[in-house]
Chains A and B, each alone.
Chain A
Amino acid sequence: MAAEFASAQPIYLQLVQRLCGQIVRGAYSPGERLPSIRDMAIEVGVNPNTVQRVYSELERITVAETRRGQGTFVTSDQGRLRRLREELMVSHVTAFLHDMREMGFTAEEVLQCWNELRALSLPEE
């Protein structure tokens, strides 16, 4: 199947996060129609009920909207998409910091490493 899933989290939530990531990086444009439930189910290898749940969740967090008989569309609200981008950054950085703390690194160490790496290798945009 196309997708691998981590073990600890419901599959539908992992798909919600994956789709949010794809929307933020522009794989789906604002206002674009998402694949039909069946096509998405086949693409990621889950059952259609799960995709239904994914689309409902995207709708609940106002990242997508379902139009009767037409399908589910990425929101065209640019403000919402900017907020989504922020939310994703905060949640990923939070998870990263949590992992580092778990391994016993201090914030200073992390920051120092970050600055060194950035000076060395990360190309500036």
Chain B
Amino acid sequence: MAEPIVSFQNVSKRYQVREAVHHLTFELPAGKVIGFIGPNGSGKTTTLKLMTGLLHPSGGQVLFQNERVRRTMAEHIAYLADDGAVYGFFTVQQMLTYYAGIYRDFNAAKAAEMLAFMRLEASQGVRTLSKGNLGRLKIVLAVSRQAPLIVMDEPLAGLDPLVRESVLKGLISFVDLDRQTVVLSTHEVSEVEPLLDMAILLDRGEVRAMDSTDHIRETLGEDVVQWMKRALT
């Protein structure tokens, strides 16, 4: 494997009373699309926040491009949280301008192209966007950054099937895997599988299984949903 872009070494995270993830150890190859899957409460969000430096590990270490992850690395990591990150009082265009002001790697031309692709109206108020269009806007914000790592927590949550399709197509069209790596968490495993190079199954805060999606199909003769179900029983 080429140099990993992210490496978790025996990482644990404890909140006040409970440990959310324990002894996570894995490496993520650069230039791939990697999916974290698993039941609710399995530690997906915590893992992604540790990866972006938004959370600090209680034990072990998280490396991004061979450096210990710190909060300031948000400059190199585009993170799309499943909540927040957009402001209702802005228009779509103001939201993009705001992002362009914060992140030096924000590509305004790409954002404009993505808006058109997603059929979003630049003058519309963010507060008045439908849930589907809000989902589209978030993808535009994350993918318009030239960051080497794009991390998305449940980018499809709460979106209807047609919107999910357009969001996934937007992602395929605009991400540059020669320079970028995509990490996402999802419950829509069968829909997202064709996009994944690699799947990591979390269960109760631990890595239950991880493999390349081609390898899962080639050697085990099952798709990722079947693989996940078998590993969880």
The residues of A with any CB-CB pair to B shorter than 8 Å are 1, 3, 5, 7-12, 38, 41-42, 44-50, 53
Contacts and interface: CB of A to CB of B under 8 A. Distances in A.
A55 B17 CA distance: 52
Interface stretch (B66-74, B84-92, B130-138, B215-223): B215-223
B172 A8 contact: no
Contacts of A9: 217-218, 221
Contacts of A49: 31-33, 177, 197
A53 B191 CA distance: 20
A8 B31 contact: no
Contacts of A44: 194
Contacts of A53: 214
Interface residues of B, number: 24
B168 A8 contact: no
B172 A5 contact: no
Nearest to A1: B165
Interface of B: 31-33, 165, 168-169, 172-173, 177, 191, 193-197, 213-214, 217-218, 221-223, 225-226
B195 A42 contact: no
Given A10-B217, A11-B213, A12-B214, A47 B222 contact: no
Contacts, number: 64
A80 B189 CA distance: 39
Given A1-B194, A8-B222, A45 B214 contact: no
Contact of B33 (A5, A10, A47): A47
B169 A11 contact: no
A123 to B, nearest CB: 37
16 contacts: A1-B168, A1-B169, A1-B194, A7-B222, A10-B214, A10-B218, A12-B214, A38-B173, A45-B168, A45-B194, A46-B172, A47-B194, A47-B196, A47-B197, A48-B177, A49-B197
A46 B221 contact: no
A1 B166 CA distance: 9
A48 B172 contact: yes
A1 B195 CA distance: 11
